[in-house]
Chain A
Amino acid sequence: MSEQIHLHVNGVDYPVTIAQERNLLSVIRGEIGLTGTKEGCDDCECGACMVLLDGQPVNSCSYLAVQAQDREITTVEGLADGQALGMLQRNLLEAGGVQCGFCTPGMLISATALLARTPEPSEEQVRIGLSGNLCRCTGYTKIVQAVQRAATELTAG
């Protein structure tokens, strides 16, 4: 059964008519047209589909779109600072933490949530904070470094 709901994504209100069983990932990609959020497993294992829901990271592959109604959804497309790259995006790139880029959107979402709740994370906290996001390319070293650099920049103001 279809129903019309409103999704607030990156500060924009989108009315969408969808079947109730649709997951948030498929609606963000298919109906709203934001393809930065990726599908890697449809099983909550890889984290490529992560988005922020009222600031909390969730795997959008396993979250019903109707449950996200009237909540603030942030995708990777919402992380840039206008035309300029956001702090995490720039650091990830400069540290060499991007290779194929498929895990990158989810990784950035996870890191954003981590720094929001733990502005000065230890390396261990970064590693645990990102452990829900699989990356096959980098070995994670440069991603961890990038998040630590971004944290330093943020706390230095």
Chain B
Amino acid sequence: MSVSTAPRFVRADGPDKVTGSGRYTADLTLTGALVAKFKYAGISHGRIARLDTSAAKAMPGVFAVLTQDDVPDVRFGPFVQDRTLFARDVVRFEGEVVAAVAAVDAATAQRAVDAIVVEYELLPVVNDVEAALTPDAPLVHPEWASYGAADALVRDRNDASFASIAKGDVQRGLAEAHTVVRSRYVADGCHAAPIEPRAVVAQWEGNKVTIWSSTQVPFDARSGVCETLELPNNRVRIIVPHLGGGFGGKCGFHYEAHVAALARATKRPVRLVFNRREEFVAPDRRREGIVYEFETGVAADGTITARRAKLLIDNGAYTADAGFFSQIAAMHALGPYRIPNARADAHLVYTNHQPSGSVRAPTAPQTCWALESHTDEVARAIGMDPVEFRRLNAVDTGGEGPSGQTYGEIGVQQCIAEATTGAGYGQPLPDDEAIGVAIGWWPSFSVPSGAYVKLDGDGSGQIITGAQECGTGAVMTLRQLAADELGMDAEAFELVYQDTSVAPYDMGATGSQTLFNNGRAVVAAAGQIAEQLRNLAAEQLEASPADIVLAEGRAHVAGTPDRGIAIAELAGIAAGGELLIGHGSGMPPGPPPLVGSSCVGDLGMAAWVAPQFSCHAVRVKLDRDTGVVRVLHVSAAHDSGTIINPVGAQGQVEGAVLMGIGQALTEGTTYDEQGRQRNAALLEYKLQTCADAPPIDIHFVQIDTPDAGPRGAKGLAEAPNVATAAAISNALAQLVGAPVRQLPMTAERVWDAMNQEAQP
């Protein structure tokens, strides 16, 4: 195998995207297609007293109006089966779908939606996670105990998933501490906010349906359709055209079944395209708000003796994929530290808000923000430099983390060194500037995945993969892996992807897992072809297959490069005999053992395969007259293993850091007293612009990690989103004189903190 090291990398999908010829889901039209629109609840909690669709159905140009009565009566949900496609009897958040219309055009569909009559008996709104766990709180799901759920979940009334990670004796550790620091922090929810609003197009032919969808997870979307419409997998085909970003917001199963049901009812293709407000309000994928309480004890020398953390996570009205949030948030609340006595308790709490779901490193950026802000408070309390405190206490190679996992070769200490050096930490600054530092971590997800590779008679290749490209370039990078395995040029391969009926399973663009798992599959598939080529070449060159080297588009005998044959010529020979087809999956690495800890509500999120580490050091400027904060410079160091595609990897860090700056300063969902979003528009919910973006220095600490993916790669897309907001907070605390205890740290909240008002 020859490994390319050139930084040059031009995306295979690039020309489509810069010329405007690439098709996204909303760009598709089919002859006779109808337009879908939804009737939403509009209120946060109510019993449906009357639902009358007769006037809407009678309107000319309206082909179908569907409610829960028109689809199989199935409750679904990956962790708790607490949801139906359309509201049944009760609505539990404002964006819940009550009915769906298919009509000849958008205006007619909207008139039909407006003609649907729904009367509600209002129910009390659960608008606060702390109030939701009080004994007399109204229940979001009074029938919670009768719902199906994953065996490992620990549930009780409004607590949809409780997780606890415990090690040692926290009481004793705190009692033995020289100093104990207690803190409270509150993170608001926020949004993935991809620039492409989602779209779904569905068309039936006979008893089979094809669905084009802007999903990050086509196989998961297929499962959702099959479960709710009671269809076998092989009659549902999900195709993803180009996907206009996701950031987790397009994970899960969203509306593919609604549109398929409309298309089946009308016998016409049906097309749904969300507007921006729907994108904010309806999907079960808001980043969760969390309330934190921390207690950390340290010895006189600064060593952590114990930590206790309690987290209340806003689940929203339905559990979606958030079932694992309590355990992974508990891990982040303890952090990448050596702590002999540790306990984190996390509750995933039902409210009448939009449901939470995986957004880029779910629970991690806000939990890192809270923990690392608390960590600076601890360091300050004992008069220790916060970077020195982290050097002393961070888990290191061969060390044991808070869940009892012993880490192999890891690079957290190198990340601290590189990020702080890159930021110029310790140098004098103007009195309105400061540098804050935070460390973060995130697992790699080891899961099954598959791919085919084939070489055609002309020597050109195709990679046929279940993997999904959401913009990161991870699928694009697969070409490099196959090419290197076969001694060919990456440009010799085309990708066939994002179609559940042509490729084997992959989990999708989620969990930063594409290169880690599908990379393994592609290498295995290409390896089968490499073996075929070596056998063919051995016959042609009268040598042993073991002596054949594949390089630079040729097969030659080791040591004698002149004795060779072009791979294209071998492919031509194969085209007349046994075809060059490889298939691959490979066994995903299993979880590492945990020793000396106990996990309640264990969903496997405390034992991390090939964990990633990071340190961000951020220089911030504060306008003390207004509370306005400007980020001047970010130095981001990452141990995400081997970097195979440097340009793509830098792009992940740059994009994630900017998202982190938005989460830190401007991006936060606010609710009215009825639990409805107040700022569901890009004017009120501000993303960072080009003019806001600071220079970002990137340092990749490339460590040879056990159980990593192909060539030692770990995940990458989520990890750089973890530590940015935390580092900004630690810079701000120096300038303000105290932490800003609520996220986002808006100018108003910064000003309040400066004037010691309105802290939560």
Contact = CB atoms under 8 A, between A and B. Distances in A.
Given A102-B244, A131-B689, A139-B696, A76 B655 contact: no
Contacts of B657: 139
A101 B471 contact: yes
A116 interface: no
Chain A, interface SS category:
loop
B682 A142 contact: no
B648 interface: yes
A136 B20 contact: no
Given A38-B244, A108-B18, A131-B689, A137 B651 contact: yes
Given A35-B23, A96-B9, A102-B244, A142 B691 contact: no
Interface string B634-665: 00000000000001101101111111000000
Contact of A134 (B9, B27, B648, B689): B689
Given A45-B683, A139-B696, A100 B244 contact: yes
Interface in A119-157: 126-128, 130-144
Chain B, interface SS category:
loop
A94 B35 CA distance: 38
B5 interface: no
A136 B655 CA distance: 7
A137 B688 CA distance: 11
A69 interface: no
A74 to B, nearest CB: 11
Contacts of A136: 193-195, 245, 247, 655, 659, 687
B195 A103 contact: yes
A94 to B, nearest CB: 6
Nearest to B649: A96
A94 B20 CA distance: 17
B690 A131 contact: yes
Interface extent on A, as a size class?
35 or more
Interface string A92-109: 111010111111110010
A77 B194 contact: no
Nearest to A102: B244
A37 interface: yes
Interface residues of B, number: 56
B275 interface: yes
Contacts of A40: 195-197, 276
A137 B471 contact: yes
A102 B20 CA distance: 9
B21 A77 contact: yes
Nearest to B647: A96
Contacts of A102: 24, 194-196, 244-245
Given A96-B9, A141-B654, A36 B690 contact: no
A80 B20 CA distance: 10
Interface string B21-64: 11110110000000000000000000000000000000000000
Nearest to B472: A99
B176 interface: no
Contacts of B690: 126-128, 130-131, 133, 135, 140, 143-144
A108 B20 CA distance: 10
A98 to B, nearest CB: 5
Most buried by B among A40, A126, A144: A40
B670 to A, nearest CB: 18
A34 B472 CA distance: 26
Contacts of A89: 18-19
A43 interface: yes
A134 B682 contact: yes
A146 B471 CA distance: 18
Interface string A32-73: 001111111111011010000000000000000000000000
A101 B654 contact: no
Given A104-B17, A136-B193, A139-B693, A96 B655 contact: no
27 contacts: A35-B20, A36-B20, A37-B20, A38-B24, A41-B681, A42-B275, A43-B682, A43-B683, A45-B276, A46-B682, A48-B195, A99-B472, A101-B16, A127-B691, A130-B691, A134-B687, A136-B194, A136-B245, A137-B655, A138-B654, A139-B659, A140-B689, A141-B693, A141-B695, A142-B647, A142-B650, A143-B690
Interface of B: 9-11, 13-24, 26-27, 193-197, 242-247, 275-276, 470-473, 647-648, 650-651, 653-659, 681-683, 687, 689-693, 695-696
Given A46-B682, A134-B195, 4 more contacts: A40-B195, A40-B197, A41-B681, A140-B654
